[in-house]
Amino acid sequence: MKILYLNTTGTLGGAELCLLDVMTALKQARPEWALAAFVGEDGPLRTGIEALGARGRVMPLPASVARLGDASLRGRDGKSRGRLALALAFAAAPAAAPAAAYLARLKTAIREEKPDRIHTINLKAHVLGAWAAPKNVPVIWHLHDYVNSRPVMARLLRLAARRGISGVGVSRSVAEDAEKALRGRIPVSFEYNAVDLTRFAPDGPRLDLDAASGLPPAPERTVRLGLVATFAHWKGHDVFLEAAAKAKAQAASDRPCRFYIVGGPIYLTTGSQWSLDDLKSRAEALGLGESLGFAGHQTDPSAAMRALDVIVHASIRPEPFGRVIIEGMACGKAVIAVSGGGSAELFVDNETALGIPAGDPEALAQAMLRLISDESLRARLGRFGRESAVSRFDRSHLGDRWAARYVEG
């Protein structure tokens, strides 16, 4: 069996980390199978693929193709415009010279690779894969996004859907959304992501958060709370900062606490993410001072998580999955998470994590205060969270699960 993976980016976001997890687990479960991947740009994703012993090939995506998408629907006033017209234009993109040439190269490359199955990772890859794949090769769309929130892509996917294509959402929430968006044109199921429980574990290296943030050492018994996320606007950094300021003001004097933002900007899209200066200005305006540290992007987020007492998930829109939640649980830490979208499927409120509404700084502040003041609650959530991660989100199980999907076609 030979599996070919298609992804149009080369960075390591959540979908790409999931891809590496699937490939790693499949290598262990079916070492005799051949794995290869085409990526749209060179970068850490290709490096990670080749480190697994799989073949990674860079097929640079033309700028004209890379620019197409739902972002083009929004005018300067932020309102959506001309959805149907733009969707039709996007659907006709293969007729444009650069896109047609790319699609022809992709078709040739796939024929040369001779895969038994094609597994696509992101929205553009789903469409390109459907157009470029031989009709007798099954294609799996691995759905990491809410399709209904992308009107252009929803229409494109409906146009591209055909016999031999199936969809797999990263949560039940994503799968249900896709079924509605695709109007039953392909079968859709779901398969949760998973993590490496040997890497994300209670024991292991711990990052010196204060040193990484350029802060003086915190007092003994300081409770450390952190948001571990890229600087994407929707990850809720502004909610976290406002909640941190509220919690700092209300925390008992004998309960020292310090807050950290771990991560950085990774996207190229204009206006899609905070800058470090933006966040520092907001923190200063809120009077957080040395109660807040910016620890930067960490190549090993597990070391940062082990150094925290509380890990916060604060996304302001529905999260398709919420990888940081299970990573924090796997590290045996108390987790605060948004009770909505796919993230709500990952934990039991007040048992394996504390749930909060999205975009509610006051609710987040109260959850923070509860954990700052209650060490036994932190320990209980961490213990049960780890048990849940082991039973539900162990990466080693992915190999057999995905192998079964590939065999079924």
Q: Is beta strand 34-39 parallel, antiparallel or unpaired with respect to 2-7?
A: parallel
Structure tokens at 248: 């700092």
209-392 shares the fold of 2-194+394-408: yes
HEC profile of the chain = CEEEEEECCCCCCHHHHHHHHHHHHHHHHCCCCEEEEEECCCCHHHHHHHHCCCEEEECCCCHHHHCCCHHHHECCCCCECCHHHHHHHHHCHHHCHHHHHHHHHHHHHHHHHCCCEEEECCHHHHHHHHHHCCCCCCEEEEECCCHHHCHHHHHHHHHHCCCCEEEEECCHHHHHHHHHHHCCCCCEEECCCCECCCCCCCCCCCCCHHHHHCCCCCCCCCEEEEEECCCEHHHCHHHHHHHHHHHHHHCCCCCCEEEEEECCCCCCCCCCECCHHHHHHHHHHCCCHHHEEEEECCCCHHHHHHHCCEEECCCCCCCCCCHHHHHHHHCCCEEEEECCHHHHHCCCECCCEEEECCCCHHHHHHHHHHHHHCHHHHHHHHHHHHHHHHHHCEHHHHHHHHHHHHHHC
* Among the listed residues 98, 38, 39, 92, the one whose alpha carbon sits nearest the alpha carbon of residue 63: 98
Domain ranges of the chain: 2-194+394-408, 209-392
**Rounded Cα gap, residues 205 and 223, in angstroms:** 18
The CATH architecture that domain 2-194+394-408 belongs to is 3-Layer(aba) Sandwich (3.40)
Angle in degrees, 0-180, between the axes of helices 361-373 and 237-250, rounded to the nearest 10 = 50
Give pLDDT, residue 2: 98
233's tokens: 């606007």
CA torsion through residues 119, 123, 128, 130, sign: positive
Which class is domain 209-392?
alpha beta
Distance CA 64, CA 8 (A): 13
Which residues face 190 on adjacent strands?
A: 169
Name the token pair of 406. Answer: 């590939």
Q: Residue 11 has what pLDDT?
A: 86
Distances (CA, A) of 206 to 210, 329, 350, 375: 12, 16, 26, 20
CA distances from 297 to 74, 192, 312, 322 (A): 30, 25, 16, 18
Given this model, what pLDDT does residue 101 score?
86
Read off φ and ψ for residue 338, nearest 5 degrees.
-75, 130
Q: Residue 95 is encoded by which pair of tokens?
A: 């007729």
Distance CA 71, CA 40 (A): 19
Question: Which pLDDT score is estimated for 61?
Answer: 86
Cα angle: 231, vertex 144, 177; to 5 degrees: 115
From first to last of its 409 residues, the chain has per-residue pLDDT tens of 999 999 999 988 889 999 999 999 999 999 999 999 999 999 999 999 999 999 999 999 887 666 666 554 444 333 444 444 444 444 444 445 677 888 999 999 999 999 999 999 999 999 999 999 999 999 999 999 999 988 888 999 999 999 999 999 999 999 999 999 999 999 999 999 999 999 999 999 999 999 999 999 999 999 999 999 989 889 999 999 999 999 999 998 889 999 999 998 866 554 678 899 999 999 999 999 999 999 999 989 999 999 999 999 999 999 999 999 999 999 999 999 999 999 999 999 999 999 999 999 999 999 999 999 999 999 999 999 999 999 999 999 999 999 999 998 7
Buried b (16+ CB within 10 A) or exposed e, 345-362: bbbeeeebbbbbebbbbe
Give the pLDDT score at 333.
98
- Global confidence as pTM: 0.89
